[in-house]
Amino acid sequence: MTLLLVLALIGCANAQGPGEPARHQFHDVSHWAEVFESPARAKWQKPAEVVRALDLKPGQTVVDIGAGTGYFTRRFARAVAPSGQAIGLDIEPGMVAYMKADAAKLKLPNYHARVVSADSPELPPDCADLVFFCDVLHHIGNRDSYLQKLKPALKPGGRVAVIDFKRSSPIGPPAGMRISREQMIDQFKQAGYRLVGERDFLPYQYFLEFKPAPRN
């Protein structure tokens, strides 16, 4: 029960509505590291299955936006090694410092981290084979503009994968903050993407994959 309460805080710490910008609610890195890196999380987050499902190839570049402690970034770095790159982006300098120390400790030279602003991933054109969001998009304000800015950063054939809490999940953000699977698909469609894949092996989260829609 305690565990469920702690895990529920993954989203509960965010008191703003879905349209408002994030307010640095993840600045207490040591607290959040215990939550994000809890061994119990793996039972429902299934990180190895997630990485396997993404079918990454050595040499690819993966950008993990809102990477937190690098829970997925370090796994992406291993999946695309030796020549591929995994880049964890976060608005919290403390999270980025955590990831840099993590990369050094794990001796993963292809695992990078940097601070970005809340309204833009600040990526150069044609840089990413995969952009990944896990439990992040409900924290981002003006998602339409954000997703538009993301498109040029994708290489030809590049994808965006999104994992976020289902409306029905017993853990996650307060109900009012959640973005349902259907709303997420609509949000991406409005921003000019099409749904290209979906996996249903996560008990509490949906897992969607998008590509930019061809222009008419």
Ligand X SMILES: C[S@@+](CC[C@H](N)C(=O)[O-])C[C@H]1O[C@@H](n2cnc3c(N)ncnc32)[C@H](O)[C@@H]1O
Cβ atoms within 10 Å of 180's Cβ, excluding its own: 14
Choosing from 54, 65, 131, 160, the residue that interacts with ligand X (CB under 6 A) is 65
Residue 164 near ligand X by CB under 6 A? no
Please state, in angstroms and rounded to a whole number, the distance separating the CA atoms of residues 171 and 188: 24
CB of 216 to ligand X, least distance (A): 30
Residue 68 near ligand X by CB under 6 A? yes
- Identify which of 51, 106, 109 has the alpha carbon closest to the alpha carbon of residue 84: 109
Residue 136 near ligand X by CB under 6 A? yes
Residue 140 near ligand X by CB under 6 A? yes
Stretch in the footprint of ligand X (CB under 6 A) among 59-67, 104-112, 176-184, 185-193: 59-67
Question: Which lies closer to ligand X via its Cβ, residue 42 or residue 83?
Answer: 42
Choosing from 10, 56, 79, 162, the residue that interacts with ligand X (CB under 6 A) is 10
User: 46-52: long-range contacts (C-beta < 8 A, 24 or more apart)?
Assistant: 46/201, 46/202, 47/71, 47/72, 47/75, 48/75, 49/201, 50/163, 50/202, 50/207, 51/75, 51/76, 51/79
Quickly tell me which residue has 């299955």 as its tokens. 49
- Cis (ω within 30 of 0) for the bond into 82? yes
**What tokens appear for 203 in the block?**
């008990």
Question: Which lies closer to ligand X via its Cβ, residue 65 or residue 184?
Answer: 65
Q: Residues binding ligand X: what is the number (CB under 6 A)?
A: 22
Residues within the interface to ligand X (CB under 6 A): 10, 22, 26, 36, 65-68, 71-72, 89-92, 95, 116, 118, 134-136, 139-140
